[in-house]
Amino acid sequence: MSIVKTTCFLFPNQKSIYHGKVRDVYNINDEILVMVVSDRISAFDVILPRSIPYKGQVLNQIASRFLDATADICPNWKLATPDPNVTVGILCQGFPIEMIVRGYLCGSAWRSYKNGKREFCGIRLPDGMRENQRFEQPIVTPSTKAEQGIHDEDISKAEILQRGLAMPEEYELLEKYSLALFAKGTELAQKQGLILADTKYEFGKREDKIYLIDEIHTPDSSRYFYADGYEARFQRGERQKQLSKEFVREWLMNCGFQGQTGQIVPEMSDEVVADISNRYIELYENITGKKFIKVDTEDILGRIERNVLSYL
């Protein structure tokens, strides 16, 4: 079985290639992007040493599905998905921020809150909140979009405007789109017996029009809880049964790694890799309600290249 660890294609009219944490992005004539979703996996802003079979297919197909399902809410960059690991879309100038929407106090926000932090991106949270507690209304807590190997940092609306990362009217639209997308994501999750706890959105601009870009509502960008039993577990102070990449972060933390200087990434055994792959497939099936169909991976790079060339 092959995996997509990295790619180095040369497509017609290709201007450049960018290797991100998970995606390899090809600029075609400064007009469209060919985004190849690899099987790489990252956590704590670090690319882990081993890739995960079928992870790229899972992420790309979930994102493609939800881009289509939310196109009436916000214009998005997607033009086509010529291959299970590829999305082709409009090239936009990305805003250097991520719009994080939180419906529940969990993950990194909870870890900071537990350590005494109360102000998040200009939003003051009350004392006495508990892990996985639902906010009365979803909150938007943007972060900077850092370069590889550098941690993203929380940033307030005031700081975004002060630093010129978005104009006031642009930021208002980014926030409006983010909350509307989160509401739709919440509705779609409910149909699958899930709770969309938090997620992130990225946006870009082309010819003065703002587009939703990159992935949406995937387990890499979002955290889902199972709705069944949520309230009982919350009342008992138990951990929520969830669908997200958090299980990978928890495994790393249990191995003493949180991406901090001097820490060594733990080795990933074949068993760990297989378990993560199976968990991603489980995430796909629970989030979409569809059976995951494993595509042929015998010549995965050749397949991707042929399908992209056929589209272009």
Query: pTM for the complete prediction?
Result: 0.89
Per DSSP bridges, beta strands 93-94 and 86-90 are unpaired
Q: Domains of the chain (ranges plus CATH)?
A: 94-247 (3.30.470.20)
Can you tell me the distance from the alpha carbon of 67 to that of 212, in angstroms, rounded to the nearest whole number? Answer: 9
Alpha carbon distance 139, 198 (integer Å): 9
Buried b (16+ CB within 10 A) or exposed e, 136-168: eebbbbbbbbeeeeeebebbebebbeeeebbee
pLDDT for the residue numbered 58? 95
Encode 271-308: b = buried (16+ Cβ within 10 Å), e = exposed.
ebbebbbebbbebbebbbeeebeeeebeebbebbbebb
In the chain, which stretches have pLDDT less than 70? 1, 146-151
Cα 225 from chain centroid (whole Å): 16
Q: How far apart are the first and last CA of the chain?
A: 27
- Closest of 107, 112, 98 to residue 160, by C-alpha: 98
pLDDT score at 37: 96
pLDDT in tens, 115-137: 999 999 999 999 999 999 999 99
pLDDT of residue 194: 95
Partners of residue 19 on adjacent β-strands: 24
